[in-house]
Amino acid sequence: MRRFGISLVIFLLCLFLVFLLATSSVKRSSYYEEDYYTRTVSRIDSISKSISSGNDSLKAGFARVSITPVLSSSDNDWENGIFTYVPLAGYGARKGKPATGIHDSLFVRSVALQSGGKLVILVTADLLIMPPQITDTITLILSKRGIAREQLFFSATHSHSSLGGWGPGFIGKQFAGRPDRGIQKWIVIKTCESVLSAIDDLKPAEIGTGCFNAEGYTRNRFIGESGTKNNDFCFITIGQINSKKAIIGSFSAHATSLGDDNMEISADYPGYWSRSMESTTADIALFFAGATGSQSLVAEGEGFGKAEWLGEALADSLNGVLKGITSTGRPEFSYVSLKMHLPEYHIRLTKKINLSTYVSKKLMPMPENVYLQALRISNMVWITTPADFSGEYALQLKNALLAEGFNCNVSSFNGSYVGYIVPGKYFYLQEYESGLMGWFGPNMGDYTMEMISRITRLVTGSDNI
């Protein structure tokens, strides 16, 4: 009996030591005191000297490349997009099961914009996110062609029924299925092809921008009617002189028309929007997922019918607005890309205790190349973020910029992923977005918002944002 008591004490001591090593207390200190903050501010100070704005003549180039896989029961040839197993990314409830068929096609779409000596490429794919390790490989390949990461403005449509096989770590596997190097290489090669083709297509062009209210198509899923939301559908319209046209659209409703019971590959409602625009108005239509944090869609119908209804409703609304848009061949043009330093992981267990950074890294690698970006085109400021960015935060940015005479769009999934960025006041709620996906502590939202405000001042020249 005495030996059992000693063994129990030893076991409890070991359990206590494991708990101490695996957990830590949630930090509540000001982020102004943290090393990650001062290092990021130092980066802003260094890049601010190189930011310039001009209104030189514009050139634009467009490209669309298919990433629709061929599902085969026997062959596996990633170079030709043939796979025996393609998990659907988007819902952990699927448990990494493979797609059973293809409902509609997937694409990577790119628009290259060149003004004076400045070149940027806006790139979006019919994927859940732009996975960090894939973006890093794309960046490495394109750097050999003289294209820097700072010039690439990524996004994804955020379809929850698209290609998986790219998720790093335990958590990545839950949402994207088991990793598959072939699928990853396929996405990398096709994205590089899209970017380079868009650059090769550069021709003199005119550009216009705008936003319209699409309030009826989204809601605040986080705290319901008591919460605010970003209702705008924002867009950039580009026309090559006497040649092709492109539309870039962005909306903040989650692309979840299709639930976890769907096992067919699809681009969800953004795919229907792109196809509708490409059949009526543009040669190529790119969809950037907006500030999807806290916002879900509102649409009629079920399943694919629901996706079609919303995609075509947004396209019809946009086509009506485009008739009144004025374009220019010499827009005010500037951009900035800021590499952020991150806090330690704060993956929560309770309101006061989170997993240690060491254990968190075992579940999910720490993102390394994390950027905030801002592109100014005349009176439009197009901001990209590495997260499911809060619709409430986006609304704050839009209102601040509107007071200075600018429209604003905030998009998500710009090539890295740091979970959900939501206002710090929600950090302690036991909700999916804050409790499970708020990975970097209660200060992450305010810290990110300050950095966005700082880079926005650089491209606008206004100190009041």
Domain positions in the chain are 25-459
User: What distance in Å separates the CA atoms of residue 251 and residue 12, rounded to the nearest whole number?
Assistant: 52
Q: Tell me the pLDDT of the chain averaged across its residues.
A: 91
Predicted local distance difference test score (pLDDT) of residue 59: 98
Measured from the Cβ of residue 34, the count of other Cβ atoms closer than 10 Å reads 18
Residue with tokens 């994390």: 370
> pTM to 2 decimals?
0.93
DSSP 197-228: HHHHT-EEEEEEEEEEE-GGGEEETTTGGGS-
Give the tens place of pLDDT for each residue, 42-66: 999 899 878 877 889 999 999 999 9
More confident residue, 363 or 87: 87
Q: What percent of the chain has pLDDT over 70?
A: 94
Predicted local distance difference test score (pLDDT) of residue 259: 96
Q: What's the average model confidence in pLDDT over 411-434?
A: 91
User: What distance in Å separates the CA atoms of residue 252 and residue 243, rounded to the nearest whole number?
Assistant: 31
User: What distance in Å separates the CA atoms of residue 232 and residue 305, rounded to the nearest whole number?
Assistant: 23
Residue with tokens 């002189």: 241
Predicted local distance difference test score (pLDDT) of residue 329: 97
User: What distance in Å separates the CA atoms of residue 452 and residue 384, rounded to the nearest whole number?
Assistant: 9
Q: What percent of the chain has pLDDT over 90?
A: 76
Quick one: the chain helix, strand, coil %, rounded to 5?
A: 35, 25, 35
Can you count the helices (H) and strands (E) in the chain? 10, 24
Give the tens place of pLDDT for each residue, 300-323: 999 999 999 999 999 999 999 999
Predicted local distance difference test score (pLDDT) of residue 429: 84
Give the tens place of pLDDT for each residue, 66-104: 999 999 988 899 999 999 999 999 999 998 899 999 999
C-alpha dist (Å) from residue 423 to 131, 169, 224, 278, 465 = 24, 27, 15, 37, 18
| pLDDT tier for residue 212 given thresholds of 50, 70 and 90 | very high
User: What distance in Å separates the CA atoms of residue 372 and residue 410, rounded to the nearest whole number?
Assistant: 10
Residue with tokens 């254990």: 359
Lowest-confidence segment of 96-105, 164-173, 256-265, 288-297 by average pLDDT:
164-173
